Structure 1
Amino acid sequence: MTARTAVAWLPALAWAAALAASSVHAAPLEVRVLDGDGQPVPGAVVSLHSDATRPVPGRSVMDQRNTAFEPGVLVVQAGTAVSFPNSDTVRHQVYSFSPAKPFELPLYSGTPPEPVVFDQPGIVVVGCNIHDWMIGWIVVLDTPLHARSGADGKARLEAPEGDYQLRAWHPRLEGEPATADVRVAPAAPAVEVGLALGPPPPDRRGNDRLRALQDRLRSLRQED
């Protein structure tokens, strides 16, 4: 390990050590995510942020199967390297114009040799230049304290006792993530957070047979 690499890992190691040292003082926090009609929202990303939280970077994967990103929503911590393997029989061209991480991968099959490092917190919307119905989201967080809400809209986090900013996000959210100031402590009451969601996006994939034919024609052109 080089000196530069060692220095880069110090904040993450320090945060991991702090969590381990304070584990006896950790407490659970239950968050219930609701839409504008008071109905539970599954699949929301809920996170806790404070001056003490630090991202712990790692490696992750967003695959492409059946001309769709898998998973459709990927949650990573800032500094994480994400690979974009192509498990389809047609080639893809993955890109993003999002300010948190603009990038473009040349048209490819298989797995690109280098992953993409997502070093800035934010929401990164990912698409494919060849198949315009493909869309995915990479949620880049600056904290290791995060969870996804289940079918009942509930997410459970565990964190060292203290004051945090709670943030909640969903792919259908209209506007910025919802925020709330919360305190993590033993026997703390559950927290409810409301999200103003837009309607589900229409399925733009069209006829499966027509799509398969179009993909085959593209592949033939690429082979010429």
Structure 2
Amino acid sequence: MLQWINPAQAADLTVSLSDNQGNPLPNIVVTLTSPATIIEEAEFSPQHPAIMDQIDRQFVPHILVVPKGSYVAFPNSDSIQHHVYSFSKAKPFELKLYSGRPPQPLEFGQAGEVAMGCNIHDWMLGYVYVVDTPYYGKTNARGQLTLTVPPDDYQLILWSPLLDSKDSAVQYSVDVAADSKIDLSLKHALLPAFEGFEQSDEFDDY
């Protein structure tokens, strides 16, 4: 169960994120942690999993953020088969060639980055990012995210596969006492995005 917040004691923290050129950064994971944050993993159920779909030979969403202990289902909405796998330390797994929906969702019980690929379509790349806090989200097209949290002293952490390691290692101290805003700018350029999608290949019949 994610930590319940009394609305009378909650505050909105709005984060605005830009790159080293001042441009807004969408789709960046933001997490807030403090010693008081609680996730009770026993409350998550395989009957209500998060969804990482496969559409047009892409993982959708490209980045899925879930709390530690969540279950994730991997439906294949394409008319061809996929073979999904990960060698990531946080959750190594393999879903061999399949169509439709695998019989069981997978539990993600360890925080960290889980990079996934398809053993048939090499350009397919997606991420499940597992967090150990109930306060998280991704920035929107304007590079903004608003989180409703209890007043506290938090550590704010950014994550994306495109962040330079020096930026992703930075922790920002944030004192949330009331509704507030924080503007953050990266010090380093983003890493180049992988653009390996192909419209057709020799495995179209799978």
Contact 1:34–1:195 (8 Å) recurs in 2: no
Give the structure 2 partner of residue 198 of structure 1: 191
User: What residue number does 1:87 align with?
Assistant: 77
Gaps of 5+ in 2: none
Could you say which residue in structure 2 is the equivalent of 1:214?
Answer: 203
Stretches of structure 1 lacking an aligned partner (at least 5 in a row): 1-11, 220-224
The structure richer in strand per residue is 2
Tell me how far 1:165 sits from its aligned partner.
0.4
The higher relative CO (CA closer than 8 Å, separation ≥ 6) is in 2
CA offsets 1:151-174 (integer angstroms, 9 cap, x no match):
221111110001010011123112
Equivalenced residues, count: 197
Q: Answer whether contact 1:169 1:178 (CA < 8 A) is retained.
A: no
**Secondary structure at 1:173 match in 2:** coil
Shift in Å at residue 106 of structure 1?
A: 1.7
Q: CA deviation at 1:189?
A: 4.3
What is the one-letter code of the residue matched to 1:200?
Answer: A
* Cα RMSD (Å): 1.8
Corresponding residue number in structure 1 for 2:33: 49
Matches within 5 A, 1:107-118: 107-118=97-108
CA gap of 1:119–1:195, structure 2 versus 1, over 3 A, is: farther
Q: Which amino acid aligns with 2:193?
A: P
Higher helix share: 1
* Percent identity of paired positions between Structure 1 and Structure 2: 42
Q: Deviations over 1:68-88 (max 9, x none)?
A: 111111111111110101111
The runs of 4+ residues in structure 1 deviating greater than 6 Å are none
Q: Secondary structure at the match of 2:71?
A: strand
- The answer for the alignment partner of 2:57 in structure 1 is 67
What secondary structure does 1:105 align onto? strand
User: Would the aligned equivalents of 2:20 and 2:185 in 1 still touch at CA under 8 Å?
Assistant: no
Q: SS of the counterpart of 2:164?
A: coil
TM normalised by structure 2 equals 0.88
Distance in 2 (CA, whole Å) between partners of 1:98 and 1:55 is: 22
Q: Give the CA deviation at 1:205.
A: 2.5
Alpha-carbon distance in 1 for matches of 2:187, 2:56 = 30
Normalized against structure 1, the TM-score is what?
Answer: 0.81
The aligned residue for residue 38 of structure 1 is 22
